Amino acid sequence: MTATTATSAETWPDAAEWTGKIYSGGWRQAEGGTQPVYEPATGARLAEVGVASPGDVARAGALAARAQRDWAAVSPAERAEVLLRAARELREHSDAIREWIVRESAGVPAKGDYEIAAGLSQLAQAAGMASLPLGEILSPSLPGQSSYAWRVPLGVVGVINPWNAPLLFAMRVLAPALVLGNAVLLKPDPRTPVSGGVVVARLFEDAGLPEGLLHVLPGGPGTGEAVVADPHVAMVSFTGSARAGRAVARAAGDGLKRVALELGGKNSIVVLDDADVAAAAAGAMSTFGYQGQACVAAGRHLVHADLVEPYTEALIGHAQALRLGDPRDDGVDLGPVIDERQAARIERIVDESVAAGARVRAGGRRDGLFYPPTVLDRVARAMPAFGEEIFGPVAPIIAFRTDAEALDIANDTAYGLAAAVHSRSLPRATAFAGQVRTGMVHINDVTAKDAANAPFGGMGASGNGSRIGGTANLEQFTQWRWTTLPGTV
């Protein structure tokens, strides 16, 4: 992406405006104190943000509910124009935003470019929703009567945002929620509160979003719990682990709130016996890209026994060609994982699997937060690398003999997010894909795909069946209202 300005993280957004503050009816001091933000690659202290207390959240919820009533009365075209102006701001400050994404989330610059481009797509797609029909004429039950149903905003949407794609995931919910007439309480992850929070607030502030419609409330679990429990919040959108998602669902259920859960995945690449081995293995970045820290990353490689050796060698070649280091350095392909807890988790899963009989063919030993691209073969069902979501750059390889066996292995998981199937026969691959229990499946491609106009989401422990993207956003962020009129007044 070519930026239109030379702004950097040192100059935009102006730290004097937001350091130690939250965004709630403008920039204001947080009751919950402050928290530092650190760079995973170097340990450098990057910033200080405010921590929203339960009182801050309560105030924000009340302000958002009041502002939302006026916002819902604004024409869809006017709401869309705010999103388009936010997109212009995003383009203008893309250099600075890329740098924040790289330094906070430890992705290489290309990862920052991807988030910016995808965020722009989300804004454009949501702005286009302003022209969609929001209702339908129904057949009346009585002669002369009018009957129609139309979509109305939910009110206030609470968003609990993850650290691995902070800008993209914020835009994926904010853009459609706002254009459909809702207000938003956004709680960014404590590890990425600038790129997933401060930056978002500044973009919409500069775009002229009316005050009170967007509140950015950094903080930890206590802040998130307050957002979920707030009586003004009608819906909660959560992206994160299945364990945390269950807790959010339970808490939201007490308030009879709508919940959209986008959780983890144990996604399989399936390589059938007639597949193009080189093409299938070229999807290695579906496992290794951004250190494997994506819900749609390929967590298992299911390969026909006749192709296991050439596929494994090709995968090893891809792994060994990748360079680890500070993502800001030229030529670096992968940075560190997000924190020590995650690095230790990856290490445990690999070590326990090796102790149970798996074999390390590449990588397998970390250096602090830097975990190398790792290839494991001889992986069996009882091993942690088979069943657990690793969220790291590890490719477990499992051999199979028949399509039926491959399908059984692919479906042997509580998750159901994404899958990929490789075969030179499209009818065969399509038939196989139709039997995989996932919300998304891709043929002769990678598992890690996303599009603003696609209904993104999973089954089972990957979510509660909710979908975000394209026209699915209408169902997520509005509710139906039925109205009748008598034939005579």
- E strands within 251-307? 258-262, 267-271, 298-304
Is 389 a catalytic site residue?
no
User: Which positions ≥6 away from 124 have C-beta within 8 Å?
Assistant: 84, 87, 452
Token digits for 463? 């979510």
d(CA 135, CA 287): 42
Measured in residues, the chain has a length of 489
Q: Where are the alpha helices (DSSP H) in 106-141?
A: 109-128
Which H or E run includes 308? helix 308-321
d(CA 343, CA 367): 9
d(CA 177, CA 38): 30
User: Strands 440-443, 418-422: parallel, antiparallel or unpaired by DSSP?
Assistant: parallel
Is 295 a catalytic site residue?
yes
Q: Which of 99, 295, 388, 389 is catalytic?
A: 295
**CA atoms within a 13 Å half-sphere pointing along the CA-CB vector of 350:** 25
d(CA 489, CA 486): 7
Q: Which of 89, 104, 205, 262 is catalytic?
A: 262
Beta partners for 419? Answer: 268, 441
C-beta separation of 57 from 230 below 8 A: yes
User: Which positions ≥6 away from 460 have C-beta within 8 Å?
Assistant: 413, 414, 415, 416, 437
C-beta separation of 209 from 109 below 8 A: no
C-beta separation of 166 from 196 below 8 A: yes
Token digits for 366? 């970390």
State the maximum Cα–Cα separation within the chain, in Å, rounded to a whole number.
80
Token digits for 189? 């992850």
C-beta separation of 132 from 179 below 8 A: no
Q: Which residues are catalytic?
A: 262, 295
